[in-house]
Amino acid sequence: MTIKADKNPIISQMGVCDPHVHIFRDRAYLYASHDQPAGSHVYDMCDWEIWSSADLVTWERESVVRPEDTSMGASWQCWAVDAAEKNGKYYLYVSNGTKETYVLVSDDPGKGFRDALGRPLLTEHISPTRSYDPAVFTDDDGSSYIIFGTPVWAGGDSYYIARLNGDMISLAETPRKVALDDSADDKPFLHKRNGLYYLTWASYYATSDCVYGPYTTRGNLGLSADHGSFFEWHGQWFKAFTVDESIGKMRRATGLAYIHFRANGEMRADQLIREFGVGQYDGRWNQIEAEWFMKGHAVEKLENPFNSFDVAMRGGSWVEYPNIRRLPENPWLVINGVSETAVDVEVYADGLPMGVLRKEASYLRGGEFTKYSLGSLRLTLPAGDHTLRLAARGNLRLNHFRFMDGPA
């Protein structure tokens, strides 16, 4: 089955939720719980689904993982799932309600998973908390960790973390309690950027210099009150999050958003993208923010004076924006940015050169902003949907662009 999204959620009305996304073989793999239509329980979740995508817009269902095909046995509590790769093999960590966590293994990230142990990796009483909602994180040195747990209201006392052995199916240490300055919820996830560890649950996040903590709560992204995960691909950071579709009983779905990092490590998400999703744009929008690129080469997102972000480009840098919908015939492309000197920007549409846009100097002096300015170029294009790539021939901080009937 193949689904093409036109906005969030990416796979609608099918119960694909609690998303953990990983990039394997330069392809995005979505490991998800699966809400069933309303049944006799608050949550009826009888299997897990694996989907994959080359562009985060068109998704293909790779396989359905059924608990009855493992030592876990049939269950209506197939709760959260995560995946990891080590030495060419792929590992799937799955919950049986709040009782146990099992691990499966395959030679393919999308299918063929089989029971690795014939018994749980984590049992109900391996720690003072319940053993469910696992997430697996691999650090820069190749060490992998499993984190799990639940809050007091669900019968636990916090998150617990343990390093995995190199086989990825056994623990190298006794799980230890994560030091966190806030009340833990379920649905933990771990990622790392610039030496800083991010412990996240729903849209809350905390950071630490050590994988074990202590973690200091930093904020809430405002994307979802439910499960999610973070991943980096082609120079951009993303968050996958659970969307409540309110179809039947506890019927949920998956959304995607770009994530931006401030210089102090704080994260930010855009509420417009929360609704419209990633990898596609509307050419009629007032503006398309530069930081919403899908692919970038030798670029960096930097804070600007408007409580937002610019994309810093230099000679050889480029950014790409696919699936710009509903462009008029032969539109004018208008860019807005700041630079110390005049900059030429090569413009490509659908891989074809459209010409060079001249962006005049706009007085960025020693890091001090004094003026943003515009540059424009008419594109020879038929009306419809197109992919835009901008490549800089000099230093430029690109703020946004838009399409118009005439030059700015």
Other CB atoms within 10 A of residue 61 CB: 17
Question: pLDDT per residue over 138-160, tens digit each?
Answer: 999 999 999 998 766 666 678 99
Question: What stretches of 213-332 show up as alpha helix (H) in DSSP?
Answer: 271-276
Q: Would the pLDDT of 392 be above 70?
A: yes
Calculate the CA dihedral of residues 53, 59, 63, 68 and round it to 10 degrees: 120
pLDDT band at residue 251, thresholds of 50, 70 and 90? Answer: confident
The answer to whether the peptide bond before residue 407 is cis (omega within 30 degrees of 0) is no
- Average pLDDT of the segment spanning 259-279: 96
First to last CA, the chain: 45
Among the residue ranges 71-85, 182-196, 214-228, 304-318, the one predicted with the least confidence is 182-196
pLDDT band at residue 120, thresholds of 50, 70 and 90? Answer: very high
Backbone angles phi, psi at 385, to 5 degrees: -100, 135
- Average pLDDT of the segment spanning 242-252: 76
Backbone angles phi, psi at 148, to 5 degrees: -155, 175
Distance between CA atoms of residues 319 and 298, nearest Å: 9
**Furthest CA-CA distance within the chain:** 68
Q: Would the pLDDT of 228 be above 90?
A: yes
Mean pLDDT over each residue of the chain, to the nearest integer: 92
Q: What is the pTM of this model?
A: 0.95
Among the residue ranges 99-108, 120-129, 228-237, the one predicted with the least confidence is 120-129
Distance between CA atoms of residues 184 and 217, nearest Å: 11
Distance between CA atoms of residues 282 and 6, nearest Å: 11
Backbone angles phi, psi at 253, to 5 degrees: -150, -170
Distance between CA atoms of residues 375 and 333, nearest Å: 8
Other CB atoms within 10 A of residue 319 CB: 25
pLDDT band at residue 37, thresholds of 50, 70 and 90? Answer: confident
269: nearest Cα among 352, 204, 210, 363: 204
pLDDT band at residue 19, thresholds of 50, 70 and 90? Answer: very high
Question: pLDDT per residue over 342-390, tens digit each?
Answer: 999 999 999 999 999 998 888 766 667 668 888 999 999 999 999 999 9
Q: Would the pLDDT of 41 be above 80?
A: no
What per-residue confidence (pLDDT) applies to 126?
A: 82
Task: Please tell me which of 40-49, 51-60, 356-365 the model is most confident about, judged by mean pLDDT.
Answer: 51-60
What per-residue confidence (pLDDT) applies to 367?
A: 65
Q: CB of 394 within 8 A of CB of 357? A: no
- Average pLDDT of the segment spanning 233-261: 89
Distance between CA atoms of residues 155 and 261, nearest Å: 34
What does 122-182 look like in DSSP terms, one character per residue? Answer: B-TTSSSS---S-EEEE-TTS-EEEEEEE-GGGT--EEEEEEBPTTSSSBSS--EEPPBSS
Domains and CATH numbers, the chain: 2-276 (2.115.10.20), 283-404 (2.60.120.260)
Q: Would the pLDDT of 407 be above 80?
A: no
Within 13 Å of residue 285, how many CA atoms lie on the same side as its CB?
15
Distance between CA atoms of residues 20 and 190, nearest Å: 11
Q: Are strands 318-327 and 281-282 parallel, antiparallel or unpaired?
A: parallel
CA-based radius of gyration for the chain: 23
- Average pLDDT of the segment spanning 181-210: 92
- Average pLDDT of the segment spanning 173-179: 93
